[in-house]
Amino acid sequence: MTTERAPQGADEIQGVAMDEIQGVAILAGNGRLPTEAAARLCRLGAPPLVLAVGPEVDPELPQYARAYHRLPVGQWGEVRRLLVEGGVRRVALLGKVPKVNLYHTAIDQALAELLAELPALNDDAIMLALVDDLLRMGFEIPTQAWALPHLLMPEGQLTQTGLTPEERRDIGIGFRVAREIGRLDLGQTVVVKDRAVLAVEAIEGTDPCILRGGALGGPGAVVVKVRKPTQDARFDLPTMGLDTVTVAKQAGVRVLALEAGETILVDRERVIEEADRAGICLIGVREEKATTWGVWPG
Protein backbone atom coordinates (compact mmCIF):
# COMPACT_ATOMS: atom_id res chain seq x y z
CA MET A 1 0.00 0.00 0.00
CA THR A 2 1.42 3.34 -1.05
CA THR A 3 1.19 6.56 0.92
CA GLU A 4 2.72 8.80 -1.72
CA ARG A 5 0.67 11.96 -2.17
CA ALA A 6 0.27 14.12 -5.24
CA PRO A 7 0.92 17.85 -4.88
CA GLN A 8 -2.30 19.67 -4.06
CA GLY A 9 -1.47 22.50 -6.40
CA ALA A 10 -2.18 26.21 -6.10
CA ASP A 11 -3.80 28.96 -8.06
CA GLU A 12 -0.94 30.16 -10.30
CA ILE A 13 -1.42 33.89 -10.29
CA GLN A 14 2.08 34.62 -11.57
CA GLY A 15 2.42 34.46 -15.33
CA VAL A 16 -1.27 34.88 -16.19
CA ALA A 17 -1.66 37.29 -19.11
CA MET A 18 -4.11 40.07 -18.23
CA ASP A 19 -5.54 40.21 -21.75
CA GLU A 20 -6.66 36.60 -21.32
CA ILE A 21 -8.74 37.28 -18.22
CA GLN A 22 -10.17 40.73 -18.88
CA GLY A 23 -13.63 41.12 -20.37
CA VAL A 24 -14.92 37.88 -18.89
CA ALA A 25 -18.56 37.26 -18.01
CA ILE A 26 -19.88 34.34 -16.03
CA LEU A 27 -23.30 32.97 -16.88
CA ALA A 28 -23.95 31.52 -13.44
CA GLY A 29 -26.20 28.65 -12.48
CA ASN A 30 -26.55 26.88 -9.14
CA GLY A 31 -23.68 25.66 -7.03
CA ARG A 32 -20.17 26.68 -6.07
CA LEU A 33 -18.40 26.70 -9.45
CA PRO A 34 -19.38 30.25 -10.51
CA THR A 35 -18.14 31.62 -7.18
CA GLU A 36 -14.86 29.72 -7.45
CA ALA A 37 -14.22 31.12 -10.93
CA ALA A 38 -15.23 34.68 -10.01
CA ALA A 39 -13.08 34.65 -6.86
CA ARG A 40 -10.08 33.48 -8.87
CA LEU A 41 -10.54 36.27 -11.42
CA CYS A 42 -10.73 38.77 -8.55
CA ARG A 43 -7.45 37.49 -7.15
CA LEU A 44 -5.95 37.96 -10.60
CA GLY A 45 -7.20 41.56 -10.68
CA ALA A 46 -9.98 41.10 -13.26
CA PRO A 47 -13.38 40.67 -11.55
CA PRO A 48 -16.00 39.42 -14.02
CA LEU A 49 -19.42 40.54 -15.06
CA VAL A 50 -21.84 38.03 -13.54
CA LEU A 51 -25.27 37.19 -14.90
CA ALA A 52 -26.96 34.93 -12.35
CA VAL A 53 -29.59 32.80 -14.11
CA GLY A 54 -29.80 29.80 -11.76
CA PRO A 55 -32.67 29.61 -9.26
CA GLU A 56 -30.32 28.89 -6.32
CA VAL A 57 -27.16 30.89 -7.00
CA ASP A 58 -24.44 30.87 -4.31
CA PRO A 59 -25.06 33.91 -2.05
CA GLU A 60 -21.30 34.66 -1.96
CA LEU A 61 -21.11 35.17 -5.71
CA PRO A 62 -22.02 38.91 -5.93
CA GLN A 63 -19.02 40.01 -3.86
CA TYR A 64 -16.63 38.85 -6.60
CA ALA A 65 -18.40 40.56 -9.53
CA ARG A 66 -17.55 43.93 -11.11
CA ALA A 67 -21.26 44.05 -11.96
CA TYR A 68 -23.96 41.58 -10.92
CA HIS A 69 -27.35 41.01 -12.51
CA ARG A 70 -30.01 38.57 -11.33
CA LEU A 71 -32.43 37.47 -14.05
CA PRO A 72 -34.34 34.34 -15.12
CA VAL A 73 -32.79 32.14 -17.79
CA GLY A 74 -35.85 32.65 -19.95
CA GLN A 75 -34.90 36.29 -20.57
CA TRP A 76 -32.27 35.46 -23.16
CA GLY A 77 -32.59 38.75 -24.99
CA GLU A 78 -31.72 40.60 -21.78
CA VAL A 79 -28.75 38.28 -21.25
CA ARG A 80 -27.46 39.16 -24.71
CA ARG A 81 -27.98 42.89 -24.14
CA LEU A 82 -26.09 42.88 -20.84
CA LEU A 83 -23.17 40.98 -22.38
CA VAL A 84 -22.85 43.43 -25.25
CA GLU A 85 -23.16 46.51 -23.05
CA GLY A 86 -20.71 45.02 -20.54
CA GLY A 87 -17.85 44.93 -23.04
CA VAL A 88 -17.52 41.17 -22.71
CA ARG A 89 -15.12 39.05 -24.77
CA ARG A 90 -15.48 35.64 -23.13
CA VAL A 91 -18.53 34.02 -21.54
CA ALA A 92 -17.91 31.19 -19.06
CA LEU A 93 -20.85 28.85 -18.47
CA LEU A 94 -20.71 27.53 -14.92
CA GLY A 95 -23.19 25.92 -12.54
CA LYS A 96 -26.41 24.03 -13.11
CA VAL A 97 -29.64 25.49 -14.45
CA PRO A 98 -32.25 22.70 -14.29
CA LYS A 99 -34.20 22.41 -17.51
CA VAL A 100 -37.43 22.38 -15.52
CA ASN A 101 -36.91 26.10 -14.90
CA LEU A 102 -37.82 26.77 -18.52
CA TYR A 103 -41.34 25.55 -17.71
CA HIS A 104 -41.74 27.83 -14.69
CA THR A 105 -40.57 31.14 -16.09
CA ALA A 106 -41.59 33.43 -18.93
CA ILE A 107 -39.60 32.81 -22.09
CA ASP A 108 -38.85 35.80 -24.27
CA GLN A 109 -38.90 35.83 -28.05
CA ALA A 110 -35.13 35.43 -28.37
CA LEU A 111 -35.10 32.13 -26.45
CA ALA A 112 -38.37 30.93 -27.98
CA GLU A 113 -36.84 31.29 -31.46
CA LEU A 114 -33.76 29.28 -30.45
CA LEU A 115 -35.80 26.49 -28.87
CA ALA A 116 -38.19 26.30 -31.82
CA GLU A 117 -35.32 25.19 -34.06
CA LEU A 118 -34.43 22.18 -31.88
CA PRO A 119 -35.78 18.70 -32.68
CA ALA A 120 -35.70 17.76 -28.97
CA LEU A 121 -35.40 19.79 -25.77
CA ASN A 122 -32.79 17.69 -23.96
CA ASP A 123 -30.21 19.45 -21.76
CA ASP A 124 -27.27 19.22 -24.17
CA ALA A 125 -29.32 20.41 -27.15
CA ILE A 126 -30.51 23.49 -25.24
CA MET A 127 -27.01 24.33 -24.01
CA LEU A 128 -25.50 23.90 -27.47
CA ALA A 129 -28.14 26.22 -28.93
CA LEU A 130 -27.21 28.90 -26.38
CA VAL A 131 -23.49 28.38 -27.02
CA ASP A 132 -23.95 28.64 -30.78
CA ASP A 133 -25.98 31.83 -30.34
CA LEU A 134 -23.21 33.40 -28.24
CA LEU A 135 -20.59 32.35 -30.77
CA ARG A 136 -22.61 33.96 -33.58
CA MET A 137 -22.54 37.19 -31.57
CA GLY A 138 -18.74 37.05 -31.52
CA PHE A 139 -18.16 35.90 -27.94
CA GLU A 140 -15.58 33.27 -27.03
CA ILE A 141 -16.80 30.36 -24.90
CA PRO A 142 -13.88 28.93 -22.88
CA THR A 143 -13.85 25.50 -21.33
CA GLN A 144 -14.71 25.10 -17.67
CA ALA A 145 -11.10 23.99 -17.16
CA TRP A 146 -9.97 27.44 -18.39
CA ALA A 147 -12.20 29.11 -15.80
CA LEU A 148 -11.35 26.69 -12.98
CA PRO A 149 -7.78 25.41 -13.47
CA HIS A 150 -7.19 25.38 -9.71
CA LEU A 151 -10.05 22.88 -9.22
CA LEU A 152 -8.97 20.28 -11.77
CA MET A 153 -8.23 16.90 -10.23
CA PRO A 154 -4.46 16.32 -10.28
CA GLU A 155 -2.88 12.97 -11.00
CA GLY A 156 -1.92 10.91 -7.97
CA GLN A 157 -3.07 10.16 -4.46
CA LEU A 158 -4.41 13.06 -2.39
CA THR A 159 -5.17 11.24 0.87
CA GLN A 160 -3.06 9.48 3.47
CA THR A 161 -5.15 6.38 2.84
CA GLY A 162 -3.57 4.39 0.00
CA LEU A 163 -4.40 1.63 -2.48
CA THR A 164 -4.03 -2.12 -2.34
CA PRO A 165 -3.01 -3.98 -5.53
CA GLU A 166 -6.55 -5.35 -5.74
CA GLU A 167 -8.04 -1.85 -5.60
CA ARG A 168 -5.63 -0.65 -8.27
CA ARG A 169 -6.81 -3.50 -10.51
CA ASP A 170 -10.47 -2.59 -9.85
CA ILE A 171 -9.75 1.04 -10.80
CA GLY A 172 -8.45 -0.20 -14.16
CA ILE A 173 -11.58 -2.28 -14.73
CA GLY A 174 -13.87 0.52 -13.60
CA PHE A 175 -12.12 3.08 -15.80
CA ARG A 176 -12.67 1.02 -18.92
CA VAL A 177 -16.33 0.33 -18.11
CA ALA A 178 -16.95 3.99 -17.25
CA ARG A 179 -15.43 5.05 -20.56
CA GLU A 180 -17.70 2.65 -22.43
CA ILE A 181 -20.94 3.77 -20.75
CA GLY A 182 -19.80 7.32 -21.39
CA ARG A 183 -19.58 6.59 -25.11
CA LEU A 184 -23.22 5.51 -24.92
CA ASP A 185 -24.03 8.79 -23.11
CA LEU A 186 -25.43 6.86 -20.14
CA GLY A 187 -23.29 8.12 -17.26
CA GLN A 188 -19.81 8.68 -15.90
CA THR A 189 -19.55 6.56 -12.76
CA VAL A 190 -18.92 2.86 -12.11
CA VAL A 191 -18.73 0.93 -8.82
CA VAL A 192 -16.43 -2.13 -8.77
CA LYS A 193 -15.41 -4.65 -6.12
CA ASP A 194 -13.23 -7.73 -6.47
CA ARG A 195 -13.29 -7.47 -10.30
CA ALA A 196 -17.10 -7.40 -10.36
CA VAL A 197 -19.01 -4.37 -11.68
CA LEU A 198 -21.65 -3.64 -9.06
CA ALA A 199 -23.33 -0.55 -10.51
CA VAL A 200 -23.13 1.78 -13.48
CA GLU A 201 -24.56 5.28 -13.52
CA ALA A 202 -27.64 6.03 -15.59
CA ILE A 203 -30.29 8.70 -15.23
CA GLU A 204 -30.27 8.56 -11.41
CA GLY A 205 -26.88 10.31 -11.12
CA THR A 206 -23.59 9.65 -9.33
CA ASP A 207 -24.60 9.51 -5.67
CA PRO A 208 -27.53 7.05 -6.06
CA CYS A 209 -25.26 4.88 -8.23
CA ILE A 210 -22.69 4.77 -5.41
CA LEU A 211 -25.34 3.89 -2.84
CA ARG A 212 -26.70 1.12 -5.06
CA GLY A 213 -23.24 -0.35 -5.60
CA GLY A 214 -22.47 -0.21 -1.88
CA ALA A 215 -25.73 -1.94 -1.02
CA LEU A 216 -25.00 -4.75 -3.46
CA GLY A 217 -21.34 -5.33 -2.66
CA GLY A 218 -20.95 -4.25 0.94
CA PRO A 219 -17.94 -2.32 2.30
CA GLY A 220 -14.76 -2.03 0.27
CA ALA A 221 -15.97 -0.91 -3.16
CA VAL A 222 -14.05 1.20 -5.67
CA VAL A 223 -15.78 4.14 -7.39
CA VAL A 224 -14.46 5.42 -10.72
CA LYS A 225 -15.70 8.66 -12.34
CA VAL A 226 -14.52 9.82 -15.78
CA ARG A 227 -15.43 12.37 -18.40
CA LYS A 228 -17.70 11.11 -21.17
CA PRO A 229 -16.03 11.24 -24.61
CA THR A 230 -18.94 13.31 -25.96
CA GLN A 231 -19.10 15.65 -22.96
CA ASP A 232 -18.79 19.32 -23.95
CA ALA A 233 -16.03 20.81 -21.80
CA ARG A 234 -17.46 24.31 -22.26
CA PHE A 235 -20.42 23.63 -19.97
CA ASP A 236 -20.23 20.12 -18.58
CA LEU A 237 -17.24 18.63 -16.78
CA PRO A 238 -17.64 15.86 -14.15
CA THR A 239 -17.65 17.37 -10.65
CA MET A 240 -17.20 15.96 -7.17
CA GLY A 241 -17.40 17.54 -3.74
CA LEU A 242 -18.22 16.90 -0.09
CA ASP A 243 -21.66 15.47 -0.78
CA THR A 244 -20.17 12.59 -2.75
CA VAL A 245 -17.63 11.84 -0.01
CA THR A 246 -20.49 11.68 2.50
CA VAL A 247 -22.39 9.28 0.25
CA ALA A 248 -19.26 7.18 -0.32
CA LYS A 249 -18.73 6.88 3.44
CA GLN A 250 -22.35 5.81 3.89
CA ALA A 251 -21.92 3.17 1.17
CA GLY A 252 -18.70 1.79 2.66
CA VAL A 253 -16.60 2.83 -0.33
CA ARG A 254 -12.83 2.42 0.00
CA VAL A 255 -11.62 4.28 -3.11
CA LEU A 256 -12.79 7.34 -5.06
CA ALA A 257 -10.87 7.47 -8.36
CA LEU A 258 -11.43 10.51 -10.60
CA GLU A 259 -10.04 11.08 -14.08
CA ALA A 260 -7.09 13.43 -13.62
CA GLY A 261 -7.23 16.68 -15.56
CA GLU A 262 -10.80 16.03 -16.70
CA THR A 263 -12.83 16.30 -13.48
CA ILE A 264 -13.44 19.16 -11.08
CA LEU A 265 -12.85 18.72 -7.35
CA VAL A 266 -14.70 21.31 -5.25
CA ASP A 267 -13.60 22.20 -1.67
CA ARG A 268 -10.43 20.14 -2.10
CA GLU A 269 -9.00 20.56 1.39
CA ARG A 270 -12.26 19.66 3.11
CA VAL A 271 -12.84 16.75 0.73
CA ILE A 272 -9.37 15.35 1.47
CA GLU A 273 -9.89 15.79 5.21
CA GLU A 274 -13.27 14.04 5.17
CA ALA A 275 -12.01 11.25 2.92
CA ASP A 276 -9.07 10.58 5.23
CA ARG A 277 -11.38 10.61 8.23
CA ALA A 278 -13.57 8.02 6.51
CA GLY A 279 -10.61 5.86 5.46
CA ILE A 280 -11.25 6.53 1.76
CA CYS A 281 -8.45 6.77 -0.79
CA LEU A 282 -8.97 9.76 -3.12
CA ILE A 283 -6.86 9.47 -6.25
CA GLY A 284 -6.60 11.07 -9.69
CA VAL A 285 -5.85 8.68 -12.55
CA ARG A 286 -5.15 9.28 -16.23
CA GLU A 287 -6.45 6.87 -18.84
CA GLU A 288 -3.03 5.73 -20.02
CA LYS A 289 -2.17 4.58 -16.50
CA ALA A 290 -5.58 3.08 -15.75
CA THR A 291 -5.36 0.83 -18.82
CA THR A 292 -2.25 -0.82 -17.34
CA TRP A 293 -3.93 -1.49 -14.00
CA GLY A 294 -6.83 -3.70 -14.98
CA VAL A 295 -8.02 -5.93 -17.77
CA TRP A 296 -11.56 -6.60 -18.90
CA PRO A 297 -12.61 -9.86 -17.17
CA GLY A 298 -13.61 -12.68 -19.50
Q: What is the rounded CA–CA span in Å between residue 134 and residue 51?
A: 14
Categorise residue 158: left if φ over 0, alpha if ψ from -120 to 50, beta otherwise: alpha
Dihedral over Cα of 285, 289, 291, 293: its sign: negative
Instruction: Give the pLDDT of residue 55.
Output: 86
Instruction: Give the pLDDT of residue 16.
Output: 67
Instruction: Give the pLDDT of residue 79.
Output: 96
- Fold held by 18-147: Rossmann fold (3.40.50)
276 and 159 in contact (C-beta within 8 Å)? yes
Give the domain ranges of the chain: 18-147, 152-293
Q: What is the mean pLDDT of each successive set of 10 residues along the chain, which is 298 residues long?
A: 38 62 94 96 96 93 97 92 97 86 80 90 86 97 95 96 94 95 91 96 91 96 94 92 96 97 94 97 94 66
CATH of domain 152-293: 3.40.140.80
Structure pTM?
0.84
DSSP label of 238: -
